[in-house]
Copies of this chain bind each other. A is one copy, B any other.
């Protein structure tokens, strides 16, 4: 098509825009602008809007990609040698990673007015996919005797979300975050 870059270039542009948007919305939240994203990606604003018709569509794509990447990470750990270490390590990784994801999630929440969070948007589906894979890691750690049998996914996931938010919103320093997680992990460990 005249005036459009070839397909491979378009794909590379799309990835660069998503990388830039992940950085910009992950640090600036809803205050960040699409102009900043275009500048950081080295493309014009028209190119951004060709790939993502609205700011909300862009932010949602960033969030979906991030959830999918974390889920792939969890799935790769499903045949780790030490199921307990894999579960607790991934839990800690999610908490450490949370500040960025929460900023992006809140930007999306604000852009969509928060009405879609219960629905089946792509981001909600991707988030449920991550939850399922986290649940599979939990089950495997329980079968291996590393995590208490009576802990079920709803309360373990609630603790994951709670400690993630605490670490990012309260701006906990790394030591306090580590000691907070040590208490939770002790509580989860099988006696």
Number of identical protomers: 2
CA distance A176 to B176 in the complex (A): 25
Main secondary structure of the interface of A (DSSP, over half): helix
Q: Which stretch of A2-10, A61-69, A157-165 is in the interface?
A: A157-165
With A159-B166, A162-B165, A163-B162 already in contact, the answer to whether A154 and B176 are too (CB < 8 A) is yes
Contact A166 B176 (CB under 8 A): no
Contact indicator B155/A180 (Cβ below 8 Å): yes
Classify chain A's interface size. 20 to 34
In chain A between 165 and 180, which residues have their CB closer than 8 angstroms to a CB of chain B? 165-166, 170, 172, 176-177, 179-180
A183 within 8 A of B: yes
Q: List the B residue with the shortest CB-CB distance to A151.
A: B183
Which residues on A are within 8 Å of B, measured CB to CB? 151-152, 154-156, 158-159, 161-163, 165-166, 170, 172, 176-177, 179-180, 182-188
